[in-house]
Amino acid sequence: MTAEEPVATELNRFSRTLTQEISNPAAKAMLFGVGLSEDDMQKPQIGIASTGYEGNTCNMHLNGLSVYVKQGIQANGLVGLIFNTIGVSDGMTNGNDGMRYSLPSRDLIADSIESVVTAQWYDGVVTVVGCDKNMPGAVMAMARLDRPGIMVYGGTIRSGHYKGQKLDIVSAFEALGKKYANNISDEDYNGVIRNSIPGAGACGGMYTANTMASSIEAMGLSLPFSSSYPATHEGKQEECKKIGAAMRVLLERNITPQDIITPKSLENALTVVMALGGSTNAVLHFLAIARSAGLSLTIDDIQAISDRVPLLADLKPSGKYYMEDMLAIGGVPAVMKYLLKNGMLHGDCMTVTGKTVAENLVDIPDLDFDAQQIIHPLTNPIKKTGHIQILRGNLAPTGSVAKITGKEGERFEGVAKVCEHEGDVIDALQNGGIQAGQVIVIRNAGPKGGPGMSEMLKPTSAVMGAGFGDKVALITDGRFSGGTHGFVVGHITPEAFEGGPIALVKDGDRITIDTIGREITLHVSDEELAERRRQWTPPAPRFVKGVLGKYIRNVKSASEGCVTDEA
Ligand code: FES
């Protein structure tokens, strides 16, 4: 699709089934009942899906932003109808018990948006989303629906402050590690907890929410600067009000998500993930988004992008700066312009503005490398290739995902310390069971075994907070928070629940993680592993009913994006 393509004739091509066809009097009666006028019955209807809810700072303001979106929709001759779907706070899930629901919530969000928009015959959809799983869930639904759609990111949080230090959610987790190591007073511990989170917005580093928001903007499914305006910045409300005009263009030209999500735009998205040092969760989510759009994307495709894109951004968790600092230097559009100018983005990809990536960036000022230190030039990158590395080997025959920024080294060799639950790491830290030179193995945390493939932010933060830094490595068939840093390898497949080799590791086994050779090796003979396998008993599923029972039965492996809607 190009900027000159023809106008579609029926803007209300779906909703007219309810508003124009004589066979649906009850639907029309109900639409009058919710306040639509005779005039409104001729207009296209746009579902506005909000993951707003009061109990999470990432989502607490989204219902308010949805009202601004609706105003912009109505002002452009369209009918906006707000509905809600769920969210799960990744910051408040309390270890496995709650965290089991985090990744499944992505697919629940996708399923619920697909259900409402299809069942109610909406002509387009705007998704207003905040916490980690909201964005991929929304985009998966938009790809499946393939009706004109725009994602609005709720925005990053401002940083907290305590005793002259900037804080965020990871500061609270790391304070716990310091407490276990007796490195912090009770007063300062409480001061950090009290001041880490000052209000609305998603976690403030280049963690999963900001990673997905930045890369989805690069993919073209949100307006320029959507990922750069903090939640409380006035630009965020302005963005919401502009959605109506953009939606009108998409409807008139029938530009749909599958025109926007293409092999090239997926490459653009993942290029931005690598340049900005984004979360390993982006691997899972873009595998799933591609599948929702009917496209093929593999972990090896992602490795190829990592091989050619340097890490440029000095952003947390491994760097110094927060997402809120990005706006002042030109935001994600300035980074995109720099990448485009250097031949690292496809400029001809369509976006929700109705213009191409290159057209959107024409008036964006260039990055000023003399005036800012957040984004390094390509001539002096933080790391010459991407930080996300796909490792295979006898410990991960079908793949695993490492996050290597270069600060933690490129090779780790150590002895296994096996933990069947992330809580065991915390116990071990408290009783001196964690020592330098160990590879902590957290297993039965995969998509089926966890279930839900829990994030390991609590153990990794506690290990960092306790001062182990680059002295230990952590590997798991679970996954990591975008806030995790250190020498970590997750998404190990096959997972332990399915009899992957990680199920056979014993305390004291030697493990090598080689990110140059991209190999993760368990130094145990094939004969010994075969004997251990003979003695291994498959674990019973932890749930057989409810959301998690369904999830265990349906979820694909991490190397397949943990999708739940494929046979
Ligand atoms: Fe919501 Fe981190 S807990 S973005």
In which band, very low, low, confident or very high, does the pLDDT at 351 lie, cut at 50, 70 and 90?
A: very high
What does the alpha-carbon distance between residue 496 and residue 476 come to, in Å, rounded to a whole number?
A: 9
Determine the Cα–Cα distance for residues 211 and 272; give it in Å rounded to an integer: 9
No. of helices (H) and no. of strands (E), the chain: 20, 14
Is residue 312 over pLDDT 60? yes
Cα–Cα distances (Å) from 559 to 145, 215, 263, 313, 389, in that order, read 24, 20, 18, 26, 13
Euclidean distance between CA atoms 36 and 440, whole angstroms = 59
Query: DSSP assignment, residue 513?
Result: E
**Mean pLDDT for the chain overall:** 94
Residue 38 amino acid letter: E
- Rg, the chain, Cα only: 24
- Evaluate: CB of 209 within 6 angstroms of ligand 1: yes
Question: Is 202 near ligand 1, meaning CB less than 6 Å away?
Answer: yes
Q: Provide, rounded to the nearest whole percent, the portion of the chain with pLDDT above 90.
A: 85
User: Hey, is 187 helix, strand or coil?
Assistant: helix
Q: pLDDT (tens digit, 9 = 90+) per residue, 370-397?
A: 999 999 999 999 999 999 999 999 999 9
Euclidean distance between CA atoms 46 and 66, whole angstroms: 12
Q: Is 349 exposed, middle or buried (0-12, 13-18, 19+ CB in 10 A)?
A: buried
| Across 327-342, average pLDDT | 98
Distance from the CA of 207 to the center of ligand 1, in angstroms?
Answer: 8
Of 237, 256, 251, nearest in space to 69 by CA: 237
**Beta partners for residue 383, in sequence order:** 311
DSSP per-residue codes, 251-318:
HHHT--HHHHS-HHHHHHHHHHHHHHT--THHHHHHHHHHHHTT----HHHHHHHHHH--B-B-BTTT
Q: Which of 19, 267, 290 is nearest to 139 (CA)?
A: 290
pLDDT at 484 over 80: no
CB 121 within 8 A of CB 15: yes
pLDDT of 485 reads 74
Find how far residue 60's CA is from the centre of its chain.
Answer: 18
> What are the residue ranges of CATH 3.50.30.80 in the chain?
388-540
**45-50 and 79-84: which strand pairing?**
parallel
pLDDT tens digits for range 399-428: 999 988 777 788 999 999 999 988 898 888
DSSP character at residue 559:
G
Interval between CA 198 and ligand 1 midpoint (Å):
13
Q: Which residue minimizes the CA distance to atom 1 of ligand 1?
A: 131
Q: Check whether 8 has a pLDDT greater than 80.
A: no
Size of the chain in residues:
567
265: Cβ below 6 Å to ligand 1? no
State residue 187's pLDDT score: 97
CA of 203 relative to ligand 1 center, distance in Å: 5
The set of catalytic residues is: 481
Residue 7 confidence (pLDDT): 45
CA–CA gap between residue 480 and residue 458 (Å, rounded): 10
pLDDT (tens digit, 9 = 90+) per residue, 105-144? 999 999 999 999 999 999 999 999 999 999 999 999 999 9
Predicted confidence (pLDDT) at residue 345 exceeds the cutoff of 90 = yes
- Which pLDDT value is given to residue 205? 95
Residue 6, pLDDT score: 42
Tens-place pLDDT, residues 21-77? 999 999 999 999 999 999 999 999 999 999 999 999 999 999 999 999 999 999 999
The closest-lying atom of ligand 1 relative to the alpha carbon of residue 482 is 2
pLDDT over 90 (residue 245): yes
Q: Beta-carbon neighbour count of residue 555 at 10 Å? A: 25
ipTM of the complex: 0.99
Please tell me which residue, 540 or 483, carries the higher pLDDT value.
Answer: 540
pLDDT of amino acid 120? 98
- Measured in Å, residue 274 CA sits from the centre of ligand 1 at 20
Predicted confidence band of residue 9 (pLDDT cuts 50, 70, 90): low
**CA-CA distance, 476 to 415, in Å (whole number)?**
15
Question: How many Cβ atoms are within 10 Å of 560's Cβ, its own excluded?
Answer: 19
CATH 3.90.850.10 fits 388-540, yes or no: no
Q: What is the pLDDT of residues 94-111, one digit of tens each?
A: 666 788 999 999 999 999
Q: Tell me which residue has its CA closest to atom 2 in ligand 1.
A: 203
Roughly how many angstroms between the first and final C-alpha of the chain, as a whole number? 32
Q: How do strand 438-442 and strand 411-419 relate by DSSP bridges?
A: parallel
Q: Is 129 in the pocket of ligand 1 (CB under 6 A)?
A: no
CB-based contact 45:81 (threshold 8 Å): yes
2-11, 113-122, 347-356, 483-492: which has the minimum mean pLDDT? Answer: 2-11
Is residue 420 a contact partner of residue 444, using CB atoms and an 8 Å limit? Answer: yes
* Rounded alpha-carbon distances, angstroms, from residue 244 to 70, 223, 345, 502: 8, 12, 28, 50
Residue pLDDT, tens place only, 520-552: 999 999 999 999 999 999 999 999 999 999 999
Q: Is the CB of 114 under 6 A from ligand 1?
A: no
Q: Identify which of 51, 86, 89 to mutate to test ligand 1's pocket (most ligand atoms within 8 A of the CB).
A: 89
Is 417 annotated as a binding-site member?
no
Query: How many beta carbons lie within 10 A of that of residue 22, not counting itself?
Result: 6
> What was the pLDDT predicted at 131?
96
Q: In this model, does residue 1 exceed pLDDT 70?
A: no
Structure tokens at 89: 């706070």
Residue 474's SS3 state is: strand
Q: Tell me which of 203, 212, 323 to substitute to probe ligand 1's pocket, judged by most ligand atoms within 8 Å of the beta carbon.
A: 203
CA of 524 relative to ligand 1 center, distance in Å: 39
- Contact predicate 157/201, CB 8 Å: yes
